[in-house]
Amino acid sequence: MKCPQCSCENYEILKSKGKHSKELLLKCEECGNIYREVITREKPIEIRIVISEFESSKKDFIKLYPDEELQVDDILEIEGKEVVITSVETKRGSRIYRSLVSDIETIWASSLDIPARVGISVDFGGRVLSKKVDVDRDFEFNIGDVIKLGNLLLKINSLKTIERKLRRGFARASVTKRVYGKPLESGVRYNYDLSSKIVQSPEKEE
């Protein structure tokens, strides 16, 4: 779709209504012109989707209506499994927040069907023991919490999330990369036991 005034193809969708044919109210990102477009619902098309699961990713295709609008954080179902959109790449090669399916080259998503994998590092005064745990994506790590991990007790003193390092507060497991803790003596009351969540493939000590 092109702006009738300046022919720019970048637009913001202000309104969209209708099912089989859609009336769109669009605002040109170049000149600010507001214009209407009516699109009739076409057959679903196959769009490339890259789904990340932990460190690996897999490519697949998903059938979607070309006039459907997708945005980051939308949830799609593919082969009965839910994935969340993390980025949308258009045919022009830019990664944007929101787009019509007809303009999409690749959807980047991450699987919701799997737990969040989080590293836990315990500092024994220079010697660091590291483990990985698989926990619910909604699980919250609070700084100051005491975790039981096998026969080890540790107190969280900082968290590394996708974006930053935290020394206070909490973070959801889905955005937490690593939990840093100090060992405690046995017998201390703990907030939660993650022993059964330890990923069995051993991680090398760092």
Q: Which range of residues in 3-11, 81-89, 97-105, 179-187 is near Zn ion by CB under 5 A?
A: 3-11
Instruction: Look up tokens 């045919």; give the residue.
Output: 91
4 touches Zn ion (CB under 5 A): no
Residue 195 tokens, joined: 């022993």
142-170: b (≥16 Cβ within 10 Å) or e: ebebebbbeebbbbbeebbeeeeebeeee
- Residue 94 or residue 142: which is nearer to Zn ion going by CB? 94
- Residue 96 or residue 112: which is nearer to Zn ion going by CB? 96
21 touches Zn ion (CB under 5 A): no
26 touches Zn ion (CB under 5 A): no
6 touches Zn ion (CB under 5 A): yes
On whether the CB atoms of residues 160 and 180 are closer than 8 A, the answer is yes
Cα–Cα dist 175/140, whole Å = 10
Among 12, 23, 30, 46, binds Zn ion (CB under 5 A): 30
Task: State the number of binding residues for Zn ion (CB under 5 A).
Answer: 8
Among 14, 18, 23, 31, binds Zn ion (CB under 5 A): 31
23 touches Zn ion (CB under 5 A): no
User: Strand 104-111 to strand 45-53: parallel, antiparallel, or no bridges (unpaired)?
Assistant: parallel
Cα–Cα dist 101/145, whole Å = 44
8 touches Zn ion (CB under 5 A): yes
List of residues contacting Zn ion (CB under 5 A): 3, 5-6, 8, 28, 30-31, 33
